[in-house]
Amino acid sequence: MTKALRKAVFPVAGLGTRFLPATKATAKEMLPVVDKPLIQYAVEEARAAGIEQFCMVTGRGKTALVEHFDVAYELEATLRERDKQDAMQLLAGTQVEPGSMVAVRQQVPLGLGHAIWCARAFIGADPFAILLPDDLVLADRPCLSQLAEVHAETGGNVIAVTEVERAHTSRYGIVDPGADDGRMVEVKGLVEKPAPEKAPSTLSIIGRYILTAEVLPHLARMERGAGNEVQLTDAMARLIGSQPFHALRYEGRRFDCGDKAGFLEAQIAFALKRPDLAPAVRDFLRRYV
């Protein structure tokens, strides 16, 4: 019987150098898309998939990520005194159950696989989700909820994938596909950042995963892969054949918010989904394009 999915890990220790100087004193995951920081979108997506326990893998200067989900007594007291009910409602999404969020430190930047290994005590023997806040998905049904449905059906490991241009395969983890029904793909292999001529497909992994705890012993080897880092993709590849492993062509649009152009596009796309903002946004866009 498949264990219930209740845990999620958020690797958020990166320096955010592509957004300097904005990220000199602010975590990049606290940068807002419209009026909500990236990390809140990720936590809300996890909650929608039934996640109850959250682990932030942080680094120096990242305390704001955890504080964002704490109770702000002075702010809330002031809002109540002034009867700012709408503002109080906006804060609701920033509150988590006491004891449900923990933070661990990734003291050295050794890659995504190392970040997940840092959360090993939190993960224990349970299945867990990984959400990379830089990957923001606009979907009618949250991306992780789609993965959780497949995980409940198949067990094992599930990753979200999207098609990329073959010329760009060297930027991503790429799936070597097996049986493919157009939505769900059997994973025969995984290759981290292959050259276009060596890529087994153009199915790229995005920052949404559901994995079993059996990946942890492989990460513990601390074997270096692409970029001389401990690659999560390499550890996942060692699970193939011993347990179910599937990739899901999720429904939705992914924005790479670790990239300036992707971040700006996300601002526009998410604003246009807001009835209170869409008319004004369409109006000012006409003046620029």
Q: What is the pLDDT of residues 218-237, one digit of tens each?
A: 999 888 877 778 889 899 99
Closest CA to 258 of 24, 52, 17, 41: 17
Contact 216, 190 (CB under 8 A): no
Which strand (E) or helix (H) includes residue 162?
A: strand 157-163
Write down the pTM of the prediction: 0.93
Contact 9, 130 (CB under 8 A): yes
Assign domain 7-157+207-285 to a CATH class.
alpha beta
Residue type, 140: D
Q: Does a cis peptide bond (omega within 30 degrees of 0) precede residue 217?
A: no
Task: State the burial class of residue 193 (Cβ atoms within 10 Å of its Cβ: 0-12, 13-18, 19+).
Answer: middle
**20-59 pLDDT tens trace:** 999 888 899 999 999 999 999 999 999 999 999 999 999 9
Distance CA 215, CA 16 (A): 27
**pLDDT classification of 62: cutoffs 50, 70, 90:** confident
Q: How many residues does the chain have?
A: 289
